[in-house]
Amino acid sequence: MRHVVLHANVEGLAPADVYRRITDFRRYPELTDTVREVRVDAPLADGSLVSEWTVSFRGGLMRWRERDTFAPDTLSLTFEQLSGDFQTFEGSWRCEARDDGGTLVVFTASFDLGIPTLAEILDPVAESTLRTNIARILMGLVGAEVIDECAAVARG
């Protein structure tokens, strides 16, 4: 399984403001051309949501349904694919205060395309595209600048 971590700085916005923008999925298509469509179901009894995503991906489209679980007290959210183009896709967003009044956004994701025979070829391409798409989303949502990117393959 591939793991991706991105850190991004947001100048002049408090963590709670950044968190509100990140969790407003319906606005993503307005603010970034990477996300083509997001449909959000009514909240479930526990406050989580099910959302359907269509995202530009290497000249094509990726589609999936995910369950989004929110933790406003820690300014974080987790997501897990329920169905779609990935075999596995899950991760989180977290917003943290910086000393200068801005916000550090931490995005993490793990994914598996489910094609073991082509994993060595396809996974690095998917990883690169995911990092690029998240950077574009963050720029569109909050004007964030990615400050570092980490990726790794879990073995075993």
Mean of per-residue pLDDT scores for the chain? 85
**DSSP assignment, residue 128?**
H
**pLDDT, tens digit, for every residue of 115-156?**
655 556 555 667 777 778 888 888 888 888 888 655 443 333
What pLDDT does residue 62 have?
Answer: 87
Q: What is the pTM of this model?
A: 0.86
Looking at this protein, which amino acid is placed at residue 119? Answer: A
What pLDDT does residue 144 have?
Answer: 81
Element (H, E) at 132: helix 119-142
Least trusted range by pLDDT, from 13-17, 34-38, 50-54, 141-145: 141-145
**pLDDT, tens digit, for every residue of 52-81?**
999 888 788 889 999 999 999 999 999 999
Query: What is the C-alpha to C-alpha distance for residues 64 and 10, in angstroms, rounded to an integer?
Result: 28
Angle of helix 15-22 relative to helix 119-142, nearest 10 degrees?
120
Q: Is the torsion defined by CA of 96, 1, 153, 149 positive or negative?
A: negative
Instruction: Report percent pLDDT > 70 for the chain.
Output: 86
Greater confidence, 141 or 106?
106
